[in-house]
Structure 1
Amino acid sequence: MSLLHSLKVPLCLILSSTLLLGCGEQAKDQRPDTAPLHVDVLDLTPTTLRLTTELPGRIAAVKQAEVRPQVTGILKNRLYKEGSQVKAGDVLYELDPITYQSNVNSAQAQLAKALTSEETARKTAIRYRELLKKKLTSQQDSEDADAAFKEAQAEVAIRQAELDYANIELSYAKIKAPISGQAGLSLVSEGSLLTAEQSSYLTTIVQTANVYVDMQQSSLAITKIRKEFFTFTDKNAEIPVSITLEDGSVYDEVGRLEFSDTLVSDSTGTVTLRAIVPNPDNILLAGMYVRAHISMPEARGYLIVPQSAVVRSQSGEPSIFVVNQDNKAVKKPIVLGNEIGNGWVVKEGLVDGDQVIITNIINIKNNNAVVIDSNTETTVTALTSED
């Protein structure tokens, strides 16, 4: 009796397990297969585009000069209008020239005295040469007379140099524009004492007909851009650069890329690119921040996919789903390039003719069966529309 009672519980467990296992297998056999997902696809075809690279930039003057005095004196007059266009050599300021004019007068007098002494020494030397020919004087006296004449000539040269220097200082009393351009705000007024080699400048002159746009780009990105440039047909093609102003408006004039620096900044790891842009209406001011768009030398065919079709992993790596020949979704990693409207240029990972899934992406997993409802072709207008 006790033996039968001890076998009841295990026997019941065995029977229960068998029944449950049978039911589970039956439920598994009766579970329907996952239905194919209905999707729309994009038939990839190359789109001909002239890509651009957008970089932050800052306006710099082609030429900019800080005007400073070269001699010391009291400022007598300001002879230019602030903000006006001046030419190289125009007088901007005038110092009181009395002291420097006095120095010129003194130097002229010293030169006149030296010239008189030179003439006297010349005549004496000639007279001694004649006397020596007649043996009425010694060789030593004749040589001394020649030496005195040469010393007088040297004295004339010294006095002439002193006069030239005095005239230069007098000319510096008129402070002139070193370059042509637009003169800025005057930082001094009449009656101010100006000193030679002072650190503060009087005003600035900026050439505004053309301006530079200096852009910073990482050395790695510059290397990629250069490699892409080398693949173009015309190596000497002019590279246009367009400008977007701080308010978002597009600047009318188009410039060109001038050069890239040959050194990488130690602190930022960036390289400076420089473009030159026409500025006939003085809209671009030195120091202004802009967005510069550097166009590729020529148009090429690129594969473009909608941004909404791109999925990213937790690490941010982009990928995309395409439909293979078995009508199954295949996840492909891709390398993205430029942003074009609402689309991305795909540099690597896709080929012409791939069918990219553009709908129902949130429900798709790799190797899912799919049913294609509609096909569309790649168009830039479709990608850039706001719909």
Structure 2
Amino acid sequence: MAREGDTEQGIHGLYKLTGQLTCSQWTPHVKHDEARTILKEALKGLADERSYIYTEGIGIELKIAIANDGSKRFLIPSQLIEYLRYRLCFENELNVSRLPLPSSESFIDVAHYVQITPTAYTNASELSRDMRLFHRHSKAKKKAAADSQEGAASARDAYYEHVRTDYVDAKKGLQKVRYVAIDVESWELDHRVITELGYSQLKFEDEDEIFTPAHIVIADHTAYNNGNYVVDNKWQFKHGKSETLSLRDTRARLRTLLTPIDDEKVVMVLHGAKNDLLSLDILLQLTGRKYSPQVTTYTIPTAIEVEVLDTKRLLGCMGDNLDGVSLIDLCRILKLSMPRGVFETRDYYHNAGNDAYATLGAFKRFAGGLALERHREQLIPSIQAILTPPVEEEGERMEDVL
């Protein structure tokens, strides 16, 4: 580990230069009163032509670091700090032990910046002016980032509560809602070839759940099998009997499925809405449409618009960086298991019917479960356990065993 004085042994880096033209990592570590006073005065006049690190005709040579968000700050090379310390000790007859160098642990991490460029100042007031300007811009960007994060968090909370409120109202009969979870499977070598459509419907009658799972194998494409890159579970539907329908009949079934009956509201539930909607477009022969991961509606050819909910977004309400979680991992996080036969040892995901069933099960856990904060507290341990890769322990060496 780096310690004070490491810079004397050839370890060099860059320190932050603060708004008062001081190296904030240095002064607090100088305990000797006289040395600290001398150091403070020297740091205040860094850009003055009488400064020990001022080069005639050039000025004081610094670095400007630009961060990912565009904010800037001044950096000072450790070599200048070393030379300044040497001159201060020599000119003031100070023992070097009374003016220790800042630790190399205080070096900035250059990986945090997208660009570092050299600069020079011959005028202390100009350097102070630009330093204040950089500081104001940095504060503004941090505030904007904080506001953006707060806004994103607020939007996530609102999305989650909207889903829960609608679900509770539907269950109580305050509104008539039919939830339709859908999954589409395609050929691994050409995703324009749709091979399966799976769906599970949920509606309420007197607060009782009416649950209807289904699985369609598209007859036109039964010759297109997966297995090289994606497991093929086309004939492993675990929640009923698969139907084999033509592409035309499947298209008609989908339209009927998404068409409201009387005054009901249809809500389509997907896991990864963007990709599934593109697959539905292919199935319905729609072209030229694009979707964002935050898509909230889908329009079918009869001009009927249905609401879209995404279980990926619902999981994303639990915290940051959770948008890319697979359906398999989501079910593990929520402790949802796929039905198995007596002698079966594996689950059968990548069957459109099974995946739609699992998607609806995950949706129910969110929509009919705990309030957001309590649900977060409950799920965080599972999220961390399942999504954090295990640390591989180093095995024992043979010579240690023997």
Flag whether TM exceeds 0.5 (same fold). Answer: no
Q: Which has the higher strand share?
A: 1
TM-score normalised by the chain length of structure 1: 0.21
TM-score normalised by the chain length of structure 2: 0.20
Q: Which has the higher helix share?
A: 2
Higher relative contact order (CA 8 A, sep 6+): 1
